[in-house]
Copies of this chain bind each other. A is one copy, B any other.
Amino acid sequence: MPTQVTAFPWVPPFAQGFVRDLRVRWALEEAGLPYEVILVDPATKSSADYRRWQPFAQVPAYRDDEVELFESGAIVLHIAAKSEALAPKEPAGRERAMMWVIAALNSVEPQVQNFVTLDAFYGGEAWVEGFRPKAWAMTRERLAALEDWLQAKEWLEDRFTVGDLVMTCVLRELIESGSLKTFPVVEAYVERCLARPAFGRALEAQLETFRRHAPAA
């Protein structure tokens, strides 16, 4: 059976390049593993059938010969377990890579998402200006910790791993607002990760699907 990953045929421009199948595509590109995309339209994603695969009605869901999974963080860890391109072979190094995936998902992404979604989801609502400084303060605290951690480091650990892949996907959402400017070490780190050819291929693959399915103007 070919490896299958679900994705949306089209999303509004602000979300293009950020839908989470990108994380899985990037991991598969780093690992050099081929995959097949299953497009899931809005009606299908809420169906009982799809929810048995992805209970939260989101993308990506994933299956291969070994396992059926949802949750992009879990899928990239599964791919990392198959490929030394994403994690070292020795057990402690693998666990450190897994640790950074979890840190990105649970100690950085919630803060970043609260900050970056304020305008996209709630733009113009009065309460937003009360929350914005709190959301930024929590994000800034995590960026400051990463700025310290990454001093004189090329990657989060001593080589590129799936932890860098997920951390970069979390942090790149801050680029457009200019929020990384005051954290030059983090900014250079994110740019270094995004310059990897595998990221470029993954991004282009997601965007190409959206171009093909763009609604008529």
Contact = CB atoms under 8 A, between A and B. Distances in A.
Interface of A: 51, 55-58, 66-67, 69-71, 73-74, 77-78, 91-92, 95-96, 98-99, 101-103, 105-107, 109-110, 113-114, 121-122, 125-131, 134, 142, 145-146, 148-149
B102 A73 contact: yes
A58 B57 CA distance: 33
A151 to B, nearest CB: 11
A107 B98 CA distance: 17
Contacts of A145: 51, 55-57
13 contacts: A51-B149, A55-B103, A67-B91, A70-B99, A71-B103, A73-B106, A74-B98, A74-B103, A106-B106, A121-B134, A127-B128, A130-B131, A131-B131
Given A96-B67, A129-B127, A106 B105 contact: yes
Contact of A77 (B91, B102, B128): B102
- Copies per complex? 2
A91 B68 CA distance: 12
**Chain A interface mostly:** helix
Given A110-B110, A127-B131, A131-B131, A67 B55 contact: no
Nearest to A111: B110
Q: 4 shortest A-B CB distances, which residue pairs?
A: A127-B130, A74-B99, A110-B110, A127-B127
Contact of A103 (B70, B110, B134, B146): B70
Contacts of A56: 103, 107, 142, 145
A95 B74 contact: yes
A3 to B, nearest CB: 14
Contacts of A128: 127, 130
Nearest to A133: B127
A149 B107 CA distance: 26
A19 B130 CA distance: 27
A67 B51 contact: no
Contact of A106 (B67, B92, B95, B109): B109
